Amino acid sequence: MAYPELRLLGRWTRSASALGTQGPQSVWSPPPTLVTAPSLPQGQLNGKQVGAVAYVVIHPPVNGSTYEDLARVQLVLDGQPYPWVWYHGRKDLNMAPDPTKVRVGTIIYLGDPPYSEETGPANPLDNTAPKFIDSVSVNAWAGSSGITQDYTIEVWGWVYDSVKLAGLMPVYNPGNVTIQDTTSGLSFTAVVPAIEAAGDWRGAWLSLPGGPQQGAGNGTPIYPFVRRAKNANATVPSQEYIPQYQNSSTSPAVEYSTDNLYLRLNARQAILIKRFGVVGPAASNSGGYDLLSAWIATPAQGNHQRHPEGGIPADYQLGRTKFGLLPGVSDRYAGVPELETPMLVTDQVVYPTVVDNGTSVPADAIAFAVAGTFLGPAGEGGI
């Protein structure tokens, strides 16, 4: 058997019969609980372990033919919200479907095992699985309408005996890592200092890549990056729609500040974008509105400001940006599409954008999804 074993870390079901309707804009935060076999895990470690999250699975609420609005799902580590990982959870936009039901592409993996017997310590760019030492859980928000049906959220990952792991990996010392993007000519070096276990990884685990306590000394924090957004306003025909949140007299283009995808990076920050998805209005519609194209924009890069340079067709019938429930089936999904080549952005503005087919698309009809790796300190540039 491979070490470590991928396992279920926690499984929570919100029971509508027990809790009633989840009100609009309200959050459900199931507490992690220590359980013993044969009960399924509920996110709690035993005090001698450390854990890392591989991926999330969302089994969304459905009321007959209506996909109820499980709008946002966020990880919670050791009782603290993890600001880097957010998912759409409504069935047609599910960013975290059951891997056995994905028929196009792959699910979003948040990182590799921090240590495995096959490869040893993971490379810093792969060692991004969110780290915790006591518990893992989720926050799940209803959208503009209430949720009347049950839904279930699972978290999968790895658990290590913290002392045993210290014997196998007494120090994490991979050295610095440099990312280069030949298309843009950009490069970024992440400084990764040595981190010692001191005989028990529980004391230093959260300082590893993916951990919420990175950044001591001159090290470069490294996190998985999963973001989602919807258009809060109607599009202006044939003009870019940018999913930006701003505090001004102008109406924000996304509903929540956590959905802001207009990112101002400084020289200490970078994003390696690996996945980009857009879902527009379902065809056919009486207004004839649809999306035409989608791309990631970097205005400072001049002739290379659109990535991919020709854009990606995003219309409902033939577009290549869709994720979530596959049209015409009840339980088969497409993963958020992977870019053919990961895209590095640093020290500039970057944002995904779409343009309609010449007819305005209504508000709340376009969903964005971006995933990759974020490098650098938080709290700068609005990140």
250 band by pLDDT with thresholds 50, 70 and 90: low
Q: What is the domain partition of the chain in residue ranges? A: 7-165, 222-375
pLDDT over 80 (residue 302):
no
CATH number of 222-375: 2.60.120
Residue type, 264: R
Contacts of 29 (CB under 8 A, 6+ apart): 76, 137, 138, 139, 140
pLDDT in tens, 190-223: 999 999 999 999 999 999 999 999 976 789 999 9
pLDDT over 70 (residue 38):
yes
pLDDT in tens, 329-363: 889 999 999 999 999 999 999 999 999 999 999 99
Distance of alpha carbon 52 from alpha carbon 111, whole angstroms: 9
